[in-house]
Amino acid sequence: MAADPHLLFDAWFAEAKASEPHDAEAMALATATADGRPSARMVLLKGHDARGFVFYTNLQSRKGEELAANSRAALLFHWKPLGRQVRIEGRIERVTDAEADAYYATRARISRLGAWASDQSRALPERTELERRLADFEAKYPGEDIPRPPHWSGYRVLPERFEFWQNMPFRLHDRTIYTRAANGGWTIGKLYP
C-alpha cells in the first residue's frame, strides 16, 4: 500500500480512465444542511492534487447553499468495470478566483452562457423560460468573451479520510482506510468487508 493515499488514488484513477466507458471523473458529492439533512448528486472532478479534489458549480445552487452552511462534504467514485470505489471525506474550501477563471475559460461557449442563464436548483415554471434567458445572454455576449458570473466558482474537498474499496469474491471485499494524522501524515488501516 502507498503511504500517501493521493498516490494510490492517482494509480486507480489512471486505470479507471483507461477502462471506464463513461466519465471516470464522475463522482457522487454528498453535502448536508446546517441541521444535518443530507443530499447527494453526481458532479465531475475537474482537478486533483495533494491539496484536494475540485469541482465547479453555481454557488447559489442547493449544494452551494449547503456547503456555505456546513463546510464538510463526502465524495464517492465508483468504477464498476474495475470493481472499485473510493470514498473521500473532508472539509471544503473555495478555489481561488484565478483557478475559477482559468477553468471557466476552458468551458464550451454554451456552457459559459448557461452559467449565466440558469438559476440552478430554483423552480423553473417552463423550459421556455430557460431558453429565453439563454437567448438573452447570447445577445448580451455575442462573442467568445463571456465573463465568469460572480455566483459561479469551484470548491476543493480537503481530504481527512479515504477509503479504497476493492471488490473480492464472495463479498469478502478489501477495504483500506487512510485517516489524516495530527502530524499531517496518514494512518493506514483495514476494515472488515
Q: Which residues are catalytic?
A: 171
How many degrees, rounded to 5, is the angle at CA 126 between CA 129 and CA 39?
105
Grid coordinates of 4: 500517501
**Residue holding cell 442563464?**
117
User: How distant is the alpha carbon of residue 62 from its chain centre?
Assistant: 14
DSSP strands (E only) in 60-125: 72-79, 84-94
Return the exposure string of 74-112: e unless at least 16 CB atoms fall within 10 Å of the residue's CB, then b: bbbbbbeebebbbbbbbebebbeeebbeebbeebeeeeb
- Whether 57 and 155 have beta carbons less than 8 Å apart is answered as yes
